[in-house]
Amino acid sequence: MTEILSAAWCRRAALAAVAALAGWAPAHAQRAPKPTKAAPAPAAAANADRTDSLALRKIFDEALLRGESYDNLRYLTGTIGPRLSGSPQAQQAVEWGKATMEKAGFDRVYLQEVMVPHWVRGSKERGEIVGNKDKGIRVPVCALGGSVGTGGKLKAGVVEVHSLDEVKKLPEAAVKGKFVFYNRPFNDALIEPGTAYGGAVDQRALGAIEAAKRGAVGALVRSMTSARDDNPHTGTMRYAEGVTKVPGAALSTNAADQLSQLLKANPDLQFELEMECLTLPDEKSYNVVGEIKGSRFPQEIITVGGHLDSWDLAQGAHDDGTGVVQSMEALRLLHATGFKPERTVRAVLFMNEENGTRGGNEYARLATQNKETHLAAIESDGGGFTPRGFNIEADPATVAKIARWAPLLLPYHAADITPGHAGTDIEPLQAAVHPKALIGYDCDSQRYFDIHHTAADTFDKVNRRELELGGASMASLIYLLSKYGL
């Protein structure tokens, strides 16, 4: 693209036109005729709309011109780095989160103590395809989170499958003493990579259990991504009571393709796995909470959060450093633009989303114990890419209520208000204190699983403007929730 672009590039007016054309504009967003003394009600509605529209514009100005998310993320990912639950870096992240929110001048900043799992990868992690040749082929592997180690070198044959069911149906002799190699790829035809992830991740989560039930020595799992590359993707795996705990490892997609191809030529090849990972006793850790007190309904709480922990391989930039800095920023944006929320607004940096959700559970437990009233909770845990809108878990009337604000979010491309999964950390609130809506921040997701849970989830993958637009979108929704309730 070249040259001077016409004002036609300015799409805001255009978007508003389409909203009108599409019948999207709800009553309060319609421009009323010029107010007259005879018609105070429409004038009031128009003024409310104008006030909201200007308030959102102020929030986005602040984010785009003086936003702090990007610099905060640089510190969290670069200076602190990977921060798996129980690690010294997770503790540093807690202290940094608390200090950052204290400096931002919120009404109250505090910690919620919670015991978390403490799994460590160890220093050695090695995978090798051993065929007929003298020399094996080293391939990129990593232990799945929570896996037991191999206790030295573990060498065995390999049986390839594409589902948990397939393992159950195999004769025990075909599995016993071998690695089960789960190689079902993402369904690339799906538009949402998250749906493809949901359709493949049972292999990683439950693969070692089903393998062990049939006498396998371990589970090798194709990495959870559409990308074809050399990055193994870690992620949590489970064990079951009464079933032998066998090691679970992820292979990069290239390695999985290679192993599959070699197995076709030589079904008797072996795989040698060596992992020193182990689970240590639980550690004390914390959720970090920052709060702005509501001016009219202080007892009604709106939560916004992301998770402070990350996998140990990664800087945890998109998962979920972006959610952490956006949540803090959402409150800072309200504060900096002079908005005094009618309801109490809380930024929560949850601990241990990745391998336990202990922080999310504890937050919900305390909400019950303290008899809190929760209006809504927003979570950002799908990356820090360009906003699309919000996924809502609520009854249809409440979804429709939130969708009426779409025209206000349309100029920012954050107006896609749809029913959908909100988030893992806020989920426990539902049973505990029944907020009217759980809300997931929704952004463009095409790149997310390329780097998810890998060493490639680094700061440089995050675009400053995309990140700040997300924080501003969340702040805007909080503004509306706080002002109008649900």
Q: Which residues are catalytic?
A: 353
* DSSP character at residue 80: I
Which of 374, 388, 401, 436 is the binder for a second copy (CB under 8 A)? 388
Which of 2, 123, 132, 370 is the binder for a second copy (CB under 8 A)? 2
With b for 16 or more beta-carbon neighbours within 10 A and e for fewer, the 197-210 pattern comes to beebbebbbbbbbb
What is the total count of residues that contact a second copy (CB under 8 A)? Answer: 76
For residue 360, CA distances in Å to 2, 43, 306 come to 49, 44, 10
Instruction: Indicate whether 411 belongs to the interface with a second copy (CB under 8 A).
Output: yes
Instruction: Indicate whether 397 belongs to the interface with a second copy (CB under 8 A).
Output: no
Which parts of 98-137 interact with a second copy (CB under 8 A)? none
Choice between 372 and 393, CB closer to a second copy: 393
d(CA 22, CA 45): 21
Choice between 149 and 383, CB closer to a second copy: 383
For residue 167, CA distances in Å to 34, 364, 423 come to 71, 37, 31
Among 473, 377, 471, CA closest to 422: 377
Which parts of 203-232 interact with a second copy (CB under 8 A)? 205, 226-227
Among 452, 470, 145, 472, CA closest to 318: 452
Q: Could you tell me the smallest distance in angstroms from the CB atom of residue 463 to a second copy? A: 5
Instruction: Indicate whether 444 belongs to the interface with a second copy (CB under 8 A).
Output: yes
Sign of the CA dihedral running 166, 197, 458, 302: negative
- Three-class DSSP category at 312: coil
Which parts of 326-355 interact with a second copy (CB under 8 A)? 353-355
Question: C-alpha angle with apex 409: 403 to 414, nearest 5 degrees?
Answer: 90
Instruction: Indicate whether 178 belongs to the interface with a second copy (CB under 8 A).
Output: no
* DSSP character at residue 236: B
Structural contact between residues 438 and 430, judged by C-beta atoms closer than 8 angstroms? yes
Which of 119, 363, 412, 479 is the binder for a second copy (CB under 8 A)? 412
Choice between 2 and 123, CB closer to a second copy: 2
Instruction: Indicate whether 201 belongs to the interface with a second copy (CB under 8 A).
Output: yes
Site string for a second copy, 55-74 (x = CB under 8 A): -----xx--xx---------
Site string for a second copy, 452-471 (x = CB under 8 A): x----------xxxx--x--
Which of 97, 127, 140, 193 is the binder for a second copy (CB under 8 A)? 193
Name the segment binding a second copy (CB under 8 A); options: 99-107, 207-215, 365-373, 383-391: 383-391
